[in-house]
Amino acid sequence: MREIQLNAADGSGAFSAFVWEPKGKPQAGAVVVIQEIFGVNDSLRETAQNLADQGFIAIAPDLFWRLKPGVNLTDKTEAEWKRAVGLMHRFDQDKGVEDLKTTLAAARKLPGCNGNAGTIGYCLGGRLAVMMAARSDSDVNISYYGVALDSLLPEFARLEAPLMLHIAELDEFFPAESRDKLLEGTEENDWVDAFVYPAVQHAFARVDGVHYDARAAIIANGRTAELLAEILD
């Protein structure tokens, strides 16, 4: 893993992005890995490393840099949760999308990149991945347990690339009524594939997370790997 600096499009400064590269693969597609409310933490870094092990370039920008650079929290303590939720409420999602678009453009030009690039996001990042699907030229976008996705339904009409949604049936941050509204609203959209994982909670695929569910995570990650390979290789 190496750290690079990217200049924000609005001229407000530079932010860090962390890059993981596959071994023994001269050309690879790139995946922008979008953080949860806990920052580019150890769990997200392991997720990015797993993507590199699958043969992709992974790049994770520090989206909280305007609030507090270098956030690395877990879901294990109440104090960390309070800090993470506080950061989320102060975070400007539109500026975050602009930083992600900057990261995506940089990813396409990384040494060894074949020019193809997509996004994958978790929790808050799952919402931002959907926003990137609607607002950027990303080649593919994958959302894990994105929050309040039904409020983004008007943006789904703008999709021009595949979007995969991984949804937890018992997600306490995305109730059944909102989930059903999302599924109904995207049912006829050919760009969207949505999967609901029964009897699991929010963050079922968070590495070493409180609600990690091995079976659901393996199934979801397998679907993700297959789609990324199809689009980015």
**Which residues does the annotation mark as catalytic?**
171, 202
Q: How far is CA 5 from each of CA 16, 29, 39, 79, 94, rounded to the nearest angstrom?
A: 5, 20, 17, 30, 20
β 57-61/113-122 pair status: unpaired
The encoded tokens of residue 57 equal 């370039």
Helix (H, G, I), strand (E, B) or coil at 96: helix
**How far is CA 57 from its chain centroid?**
14
**145 secondary structure, DSSP code:** S
Instruction: Give the whole-angstrom CA distance, residue 142 versus residue 140.
Output: 7
Rounded Cα distance between 146 and 216, Å, is 16
Sheet containing 57-61: order of strands: 2-7, 14-20, 57-61, 28-34, 113-122, 141-144, 163-168, 192-197
